[in-house]
Structure 1
């Protein structure tokens, strides 16, 4: 598969009768399946059936499943946001929260954006949006790229946990039961859990991690000015 497909290289079928489908419609049907049942449930045949067409009908619009998933990712991410928060840190906070929201809305997109694959204009646009907020800061090119990779990775990890129903609340409840039975073997964890019980901010792992990442970046930037 080439990235040209995502950049308008094959927008309409080149032969046959007037198109009865659109790429956006096909992607929408595929996303509905993935949202409900996971990425593994998506196939050309399944999506065609959802649309009331044959599997071969989709090949007039898409070369195969890999291209279908790529179009799904583009549609799920959507156009890059127009950030409204002033300054580099508030801007990156806004960007990270918006991207986290996209992953939460479509957990399958985490699996779909791993490994070697073509990149579309929306995904590249999200990167451009974040890098624009780092413009003019005393950071090397690799550091700017690593910054957005760390921020995106933080959101991906927390969204993946949420999708697997392993959120912080559920994890704490599971650990509490273990410590009730075996707490003497884990004194430090038992003491920490007791301190954390009832504290404000519990269940805010995404916001906590985001703040600590940006705290560290702010220290680095300040040290170079």
Structure 2
């Protein structure tokens, strides 16, 4: 039984993978999917994803909303096109530094983080079960190629890839990372007021400032040190 979800997924696949025919009637179109997606990306970068709508993007392009429907069926397809445009073409394996998997995967994590920081809405719209475009799939292919050098099993590599993506997501900027009581000044004031209930957290407020990368490098080092230890143990 074909569901509405299946139909939507098929439409997104056709859109992202260049399988959908463009408008054929009338004069040569002055709009394009890339131009529409770029306008939406610019809007999301400036004002957040909530500001993106078919009406607003059409207005920014000085076109009618109906003009956009010749290219995308609605906001879901628009966001899918935005994602693949924003992530951009991935680097190649030869672009990554080093001669083995660790410096290469460290570079991949750094580049992914830079991409997400440039488009802070990306980490949250790339969650869940959805169709990925060729650029985003290429980023995953690159990480898979690097991790294949580790000698880990396929399930282990898949788990590690998920872990690394989650680590980048969890260490985004303060405005998008998970809430921590030592970040928000109001929460910090509450910790000081109730120091008897939360003595360890209260003491942390007087310690060193949180790292500017929200602990990304530290966490990545721990993860990859553990992987290297696992590989070494198997060889011994």
Shorter chain as denominator, the TM-score bin is 0.7 to 0.9
In the alignment, is the contact (CA less than 8 A) between 1:138 and 1:221 conserved in 2?
yes
Q: TM-score, normalised by structure 2?
A: 0.84
In the alignment, is the contact (CA less than 8 A) between 1:35 and 1:106 conserved in 2?
yes
Equivalent residue in structure 1 for 2:200, among 182, 185, 188: 188
- Secondary structure, counterpart of 2:190 in structure 1: helix
Structure number with the higher helix fraction is 1
Which residue of the partner structure matches residue 202 of structure 1? Answer: 211
Change (3 A) 1:41 1:192: closer
5 Å-filtered alignment, 1:6-25, equals 6-10=16-20, 12-25=22-35
Number of aligned positions between the proteins: 221
CA offsets 1:20-56 (integer angstroms, 9 cap, x no match) = 1121111111011111222122111111111000011
Change (3 A) 1:172 1:48: closer
2:157 is aligned with 1:144: yes
In the alignment, is the contact (CA less than 8 A) between 2:39 and 2:60 conserved in 1?
yes
5 Å-filtered alignment, 1:15-164, equals 15-82=25-92, 83-86=95-98, 87-159=100-172, 161-164=173-176
Gaps (5+ residues) in structure 2? 1-7
1:67 CA drift (Å): 1.2
- Secondary structure, counterpart of 2:96 in structure 1: coil
Q: TM-score, normalised by structure 1?
A: 0.87
1:207 CA drift (Å): 1.1
Gaps (5+ residues) in structure 1? none
State the alpha-carbon separation in 2 of the partners of residues 165 and 173 from structure 1: 16
